[in-house]
Amino acid sequence: MFLYLSKLLPLFFYPLGLACMSLVVALVMLWKRPRVAAIAITLSLTLLLVCSNAWVAKSLVRSLEWQNIPPATVPSAEAIVVLGGATKSAFPPRPTVDLSEQGDRIIYAAQLYRQKKANFIILSGGRIDWRGSGSPESADMANILTSIGIPAEAIIQEPDSLNTYQNAVNVRKILESRGIKQVLLITSAMHMPRSLKIFQRQGINVIPAPTDFLVSEGEIAELSSSPKAAILNLLPDTDNLHQFTNALKEYIGGFVYRLRGWL
| Residue 5, pLDDT score | 59
At 37-78, the pLDDT tens digits run 999 999 999 999 999 999 999 999 999 999 999 888 999 999
Q: What is the mean pLDDT of residues 190-207?
A: 97
- Domain segments of the chain as ranges: 9-50, 73-208
Answer whether residue 86 shows pLDDT above 70: yes
pTM confidence score: 0.91
Q: Can you tell me the distance from the alpha carbon of 137 to that of 143, in angstroms, rounded to the nearest whole number?
A: 10
CATH code: domain 73-208 is 3.40.50.620
At 89-144, the pLDDT tens digits run 888 898 889 999 999 999 999 999 999 999 999 999 997 664 555 689 999 999 99
Sequence length of the chain is 263
Long-range contacts: 51-54, Cβ < 8 Å, 24+?
A: 51/15, 51/240, 51/241, 51/244, 51/245, 52/15, 52/236, 52/237, 52/238, 52/240, 52/241, 52/244, 53/233, 53/234, 53/235, 53/236, 53/237, 53/240, 54/223, 54/233, 54/234, 54/237, 54/240
| Residue 227, pLDDT score | 92
At 202-256, the pLDDT tens digits run 999 999 999 999 999 999 999 999 999 999 999 999 999 999 999 999 998 999 8
As a whole number of angstroms, the longest Cα–Cα distance in the chain is 69
| Residue 197, pLDDT score | 97
Closest CA to 51 of 248, 207, 189: 248
The answer to which of 31-35, 90-94, 101-105, 152-156 has the lowest mean pLDDT is: 90-94
